[in-house]
Structure 1
Amino acid sequence: MRWTLKPIPPSEKVKSLANTLKIDPVLASLLVQRGIETYDQAKQFFRPSFKDLHDPFLMKDMDKAVARIEKAFENNENILVYGDYDVDGTTSVALMASYLKTKHEQVYTYIPDRYDEGYGVSYKGIEFAHENDFTLIIALDCGIKAIEKVAHAKTLGVDFIICDHHRPGDEIPDAVAVLDPKRQDCNYPYKELCGCGVGFKLIQALASKEGKTAEDLTEYLDLVATAIGADIVPIDGENRALAYFGLQVVNTTPRPGIQAILKQVHKTEFTITDVVFIVAPRINAAGRMKHGNYAVTLLMETDEKAAEAYAEDINNYNLDRRETDKQITQEALQQIEDHNEQDRLTTVVYHESWHKGVIGIVASRLTETYYRPTLVFTKSGDKLAASARSVKGFDVYNALEACQEHIEQFGGHKYAAGLTLAEENYEAFKLAFEAEVSKTIDRNLLTPEIQIDAQIDLEQITPKFYRILKQFAPYGPSNMSPVFMTENLVDTGYGKCVGADETHLRLTVKQPPSPSQMVCIGFGLGEKLALTTDGKPFSAIYSIDENEWQGNVSLQLKLRDVK
């Protein structure tokens, strides 16, 4: 691990903000690092408001989208709500279809089959719409690159409204409306919405025609918060407000489908991290192991008993998914070893039998082991399909763009993408990708970096300090959970390895001469036990959280690394 201490913000700004807010200078420093320097900015950060949400009509084509949907209502048209099979796609479809069904009876949903149709808008989906008399498709979390498919639909008399957040290509599809804040010609003030966020802006625009505000749509925000967490979009600006209010819904009045998932774990309060690690994998598992329709059905179910039955099924898919990804990860690691590819700058592996539904997870796992841009391929029909994952600071989308002569189709983000290619192009692509990454990557990026927000002493961690720190949540990109460093720690004699396989580290530490002690837990850090229990002082980096045990709540340090 590379330990990097973030630049210390200008002391006069920190001092001024600490005095204004009457808070610890360390907390003021964390705020200044996040671009918060005034009382008003701090108020907006700590107390998000529905007023922070932008006018949806600032988004390019929003007026056209609303007009076309209103026309569909008037003409009693069949509307097909179409979305991708991942969390962002299925939550988007559930959100849009649930809302439209309150206004119009003929609203149906369609999720493409991951294996038969692949990612995004498919010809099969368009044929389904045409054959079943749908004249309007609202595509969510996909469609920005579906130029030929949207044109084909038009010849069949099927209109498209696209709600996407992925980067457009050079050409925009010829749809009735294309809502995507990343369009070059879109002046919408916030660019980082997820697909479900763009869908929410569309229902906000529709509701405004009846004099309703975003606050009147609060019941849909549990879906938006789930998508924001799962899609790893920045949690700043508008996303922060949407996630903040969405988590309130998750914790108070979640829809029966989300409530049924949350019932499977024993917790009282859920954070965005819980949404990412509890709700999202289960929703995703439906599309990975069975079909994304199961997730949409669960998320739209209004009966609690029925929702619990669906959630039970989906939990079983998730258990199958875990077994499958564990096995494939082991096979992929063996392949890297067998081919002597440990010293490359990229990981590119392929086996025709690997389950297409979990190759993205496997790519993430391999990135944890060999910290470098990673692609995992499997057979998909007569093509090869891959999921790509990157390391912090390296744009894998741009690297794929540079190799596109070998690729048939690709799309995605800076850190995660998907692609298909012809089998005969696999070896050439593998060489080209390694060459491109070798040419463009800063070698420092191949060592995982932990950025440290501030260096503090143990005695600064008081209940009041933590109470304010807790209000920095919800955490995510652009507002990560603050990471601290403390030097000269010593173990008080209780250090040990814990967990079923003893891979985790549990310590009780103090920082002489202060007598105050803190319990630390370091997941996956068991091998560092000897380094911390030999009586010599050590440094640690950690985040601060609460440990709940037998009804007692205490502060603890969640270790990230020690040395």
Structure 2
Amino acid sequence: MAYNWVSKKILNENLVEKIKIKYKLKEYIAQTIVNRGYDDLKKVDEYLNPDLNMMHSPFLLDGIEKASSVIKYHIEKNNKITIYGDYDVDGITGTSILYKTLKKLGADVNFYIPDRLQEGYGINLNAIEKIYNLGSSLIITVDCGITSVIEVEHAKKLGIEIIVTDHHQVPDVLPDATCVINPHIKNCTYPYRELSGVGVAFKLCLALIGDDALDYLDIVALGTVADIVPLTGENRIIVKEGLKMMKNSKNKGLKALINVSGLNNKDINTYHVGFVLAPRLNAAGRLESAVSCVNLLTTDDDIEANRIAEYLNSENIKRQELEKKMLDEAIVQVETKIDLDKEKFIVLYSEDWHPGIIGIVSSRITEKYNRPSILISICGDTGKGSGRSIKGFNIYDAIKYAGDCLIGFGGHEMAAGITIKKDEIESFKDKLNEYAESKLNDIDLIPTIEIETSIENETIDLEGANQLSLLEPFGNSNPMPAYIINHLHVKQTYTVGNNKHLRIIAQKNDMCYDIILFHMGSEANKFKEGYIIDIAGYINVNEWNGDKKVEIIAKDIKIKEKNTIFFRNLLNNIMNFNDFTAESLDNKNFIDMRGIQDRQSYILKMFRSNESVAVIVNTRYHLNKLINYLIVHDYRDFKLSSKAVNVEKMILWNSNYKDVDYLQSIFKNIIFYDIPFDSKMFYNILANDKNSKIHLLYGKEDIKANLKDIFEIIPRRSDFAKVYINIKKSGSTIVFKDQVYDYFKLNSVKVMLCLKILKNFGLIKIEESDNIFVLRRNNIESKVDIKDDEIIKKLYASRKIFLRFAFRILKTKIKEETA
């Protein structure tokens, strides 16, 4: 999948410089900090040095003081308390720390985790009845309950008090609970609104037992990372401190889970939490019951902890196998049953899908197609669905729009769950796509990589990679920073990991970089030695057997088109070509070597002389031939440039008259190596007599090289056909402007001309946005003749004028004094 590279704007260069100096950081790291909104040194210091003392008092959270009093009242009365937690990692961890807190206070407490398959998300009436029959007087919800108006009312009728703690989006009507604690409630004055479910539960624990609750930070960090809430503010503090505790966790269950996951003695980071530990906790709730996970995190028995951890590990293996099978089936559905040109919201369903896995597979589908998706598992006449979204599209609002089709739903901007009647699925799908059509355009569906900055003049080394760790923990709203590294020369490519992954060794400014592309082993032949590439990726420290080295994890690679600037300048010169009539070339310092057979050795001899020399080369063929000759003869002491610079020896390539206006004031010898494309440059140099010697080396055989370059920019009928065929018959074709060469397999100047002319004839529509073309075919019946286009006429006319100029300067007599 191609990505749109979106570079962030430099907001405050002065602040970047101050941060760089004060904290002794690389410039690209200082730039990253400013990009993330830290716009003064105080905020920067808090970001780089998060501290527990920066956390807000829990009593600032609306409802928490009353909730503490109610809980303590029930403990004093020895009433039974039930914690009603969600079955995901956020709910599991929140339930666990609240359970341990209430136990510490001497409460008669138990917990209830609904069965994902049988009961689904949130509070349900049957569960309320069970809890009532167990004799509970108080229910405290964790990570759920904010939409449970009916269920809370039922509990109240049974004489049960309910405290709702949740962090999900708040509906228009709140449940009439004893207390509702949710930082998203309207008019809530709590300074930080992005707490996870376990984060809200943690605040309640702090209110109940004070700083003793800090012992649970490793568990809180686990749930916070797993729920993909923003890692800013308090969440950043919680996760940073919690990760420190994980390596030597005092929680026997977490310690056993770390051990069975192969993370013993490792510095655990957010990747390990999100992709190694959390999936093992989620696996039980997806396939069987999440009760075992709470038992794991609340046990004080090493044997029980190890047994549960081993069980969770085996469940995770089963989950992985099921996930792969379901993902393959879901992709087949998309490719065979969905018209992605018309449907912007993917809705898939099956009676064979495990309801506990659909959320993971929905994430994979959304990632693959960059569209919001919901996958529904059907059992009988009812379906349970789970959805994921893309950046900028609120899936909760979309589902709310289609809410009339649903039995129930819940969630937030990026993820949601639903319950639906089977016969309502198609109507639900239509309404979601109706909503998506009003909110998303074709460009919104292009995956993006947010680029912090382009690293131009700094070396990417271990020092910089280590400095990046100051920005951790990485996650939602504080992602691992992506950078652009331009103009890398490919030296070597090879596959690793049983040919699954691709490694590229590439060089820039005498520095070699090790680049890894995961799951790209099949693309090894695409990146050949000598290619120039741009990379968007992440800086990583790869450690093997105690040896540390920097590697670049490439998210996307663009192969640079060769000679792009040359062809642009050539088009400009040809389109504006004018010839002057000159019967003779009159300059007292001409050296006429036109038609010389061994011009390369002539240049070598001139370069080895004591005089300053500028060689003007105009065609690709002659440039490559000359430079290769000089290298073979071990001569490299020259400057290659498109502009005149003050050096002793240089080759001017791809120049026009503006670039060489003062050439004769610098160089004693000016050599026209082949026939120039810019007549004005040629005649200007001849007209200015400043004691420079003008050497003419070109010959009539050079015209072939000139014409070959000219024909590279003049589109032929086959070129128009190639461009047109590569635009979809229906729907939109998305092409990145800097990748038109790779997409159409034609040089970009020729492609741009083809697109412009096709648009002029009404054959296509073109929309542009930054670096993106959105192309669509028009349906027109009448035939067109490309040769009738004014641009094509102008190009062919200019070609004729150029040829007339070329033959003239080949034949014109020279008045020369020096030879």
TM-score normalised by length of structure 2: 0.66
Q: Distance in 1 between matches of 2:458 and 2:514?
A: 13
1:386 aligns to what? Answer: 385
Per the alignment, residue 432 of structure 1 pairs with 431
**Aligned counterpart, 2:422:** 423
Distance 2:249 2:335 in 1: 50
Deviations 1:57-106 (A, max 9, x none): 11111111000011011101111111010000111111100111111141
Q: Does structure 1 residue 503 correspond to structure 2 residue 500?
A: yes
In structure 2, the partner of 1:323 is 321
Which residue number corresponds to residue 134 of structure 2?
A: 132
- In the other structure, the counterpart of 2:62 is 60
RMSD: 1.5
Equivalence for 2:204: 202
CA displacement 1:113-135 (0-9 Å, x = unmatched): 11221101111221111101100
The reply on whether 1:332 has 2:330 as its aligned counterpart is yes
Contact 2:169–2:411, Cα closer than 8 Å, also in 1: yes
Cα 1:43/1:254, change in 2 over 3 Å: farther
User: What SS is found at the alignment partner of 1:393?
Assistant: coil
Contact 1:356 1:380 in 2 (8 A): no
Q: Which residue matches 1:83?
A: 85
1:368 matched residue in structure 2: 367
Q: Which deviates more from structure 2 when the two are superposed, residues 420-429 or residues 519-528?
A: 519-528
Displacement of 1:509 in angstroms is 1.7
After superposition, the C-alpha distances for 1:456-494 in whole angstroms (9 at most, x for unaligned) are: 04852232222221110001112111111111112222x
* Code of the aligned partner of 2:386: S
Show CA shifts across 1:305-360 (max 9, x none): 22111111111111111111111111122222332534332211111121000000
Contact 2:28 2:453 in 1 (8 A): yes
Letter in 1 for 2:162: F
Q: Where does residue 468 of structure 1 map in the other structure?
A: 467
Alignment of 1:452-491 (within 5 A): 452-457=451-456, 459-491=458-490
Separation in structure 1 between the aligned mates of residue 404 and residue 349 of structure 2, nearest angstrom: 19
CA contact (8 A) 1:458 1:510 kept: no
Give the number of the structure whose alpha-carbon radius of gyration is greater.
2
2:155 corresponds in structure 1 to 153
1:537 aligns with 2:532: yes
Matches of 2:367 and 2:386, distance apart in 1: 15
Rounded Cα–Cα distance in structure 1 between residues aligned with 2:21 and 2:317: 51
Distance 2:123 2:532 in 1: 58
Q: Structure 1 residues 380, 140: closer, same or farther in 2, change over 3 A?
A: farther
Deviation at 1:371, TM superposition (A): 1.9
Amino acid at match of 1:222: D
Opposite residue 455 of structure 2, the aligned amino acid is I
SS of 2:413 mapped into structure 1: coil
Matches within 5 A, 1:106-145: 106-145=108-147
Cα 1:83–1:380, aligned 2, differ >3 Å: closer, same or farther?
farther
Q: What is the CA-CA distance between 1:401 and the residue it aligns to?
A: 1.4
Q: Secondary structure at the match of 2:510?
A: coil
Partner of 1:341: 339
Contact kept? 2:83, 2:109, Cα under 8 Å: yes
Post-superposition CA distance 1:485-530 (Å, at most 9, x none): 111112222x112223x2311122211xx22222121112334433
Aligned pair partner of 2:222 in 216, 226, 235? 226
Distance of 2:250 and 2:443 partners within structure 1: 43
| Counterpart residue type for residue 463 of structure 1 | L
Amino acid at match of 1:561: D
1:525 aligns with 2:523: no
CA deviation after TM superposition for structure 1 residue 254, in Å: 4.5
Query: Would you say the 8 A contact 1:115–1:380 is kept in 2?
Result: no
Find the aligned partners of 1:381 and 1:149 in 2 and give their Cα distance.
24
Correspondent of 2:279 among 278, 281, 290 = 281
Rounded Cα–Cα distance in structure 2 between residues aligned with 1:35 and 1:435? 35
Deviations along 1:362-406, whole A, 9 cap, x unmatched? 111111222211111112464211111111221111111111121
Equivalenced residues, count: 553
Q: Secondary structure at the match of 2:83?
A: strand
Q: Within 1, Cα distance between the matches of 2:441 and 2:339?
A: 20
Question: Given that residues 406 and 425 in structure 1 are in contact (C-alpha distance below 8 angstroms), is that contact kept between their aligned partners in structure 2?
Answer: yes
Map of 1:558 onto structure 2: 553
Residue pair 1:298, 1:307 contacting (<8 A) in 2 also:
yes
Q: Is the 8 A contact 2:386 2:417 kept in 1?
A: yes
Contact 2:90 2:227 in 1 (8 A): yes
Q: Is the 8 A contact 2:261 2:313 kept in 1?
A: no
Q: 1:292 aligns with which of 290, 293, 306?
A: 290
TM-score normalised according to structure 1 size: 0.95
Distance in 2 of aligned mates of 1:554 and 1:42: 28
- SS state of the match for residue 453, structure 1? strand
Task: State how far apart, in whole Å, the 2-side matches of 1:274 and 1:457 are.
Answer: 32
Q: Secondary structure, in 3 states, of the residue corresponding to 1:80? A: strand
Greater shift after overlay, 159-168 or 386-395? 386-395
Aligned position for 1:7: 9
SS in 2 for 1:157: coil
2:247 aligned counterpart, secondary structure: helix
The aligned amino acid for 1:550 is N
Does structure 2 retain, via aligned residues, the 8 Å contact 1:342–1:370? Answer: no
Partner AA of 1:390 in structure 2? S
Tell me which moved more, 33-42 or 480-489.
Answer: 33-42
Q: Secondary structure at the match of 1:234?
A: coil
How has the CA–CA distance of structure 1 residues 516 and 266 changed in structure 2, closer, same or farther, with 3 Å as cutoff?
farther
> Structure 2 CA distance, aligned partners of 1:342 and 1:170?
34
> Quick check: 1:298–1:311 contact (8 Å CA) kept in 2?
yes
The one-letter amino acid of 1:224's match is V
- Per the TM alignment, residue 442 of structure 1 is displaced from its structure 2 partner at its CA by 2.9
Alpha-carbon distance in 2 for matches of 1:264, 1:28: 39
Task: Please give the alpha-carbon distance, in whole angstroms, between the structure 2 residues aligned to 1:433 and 1:37.
Answer: 39
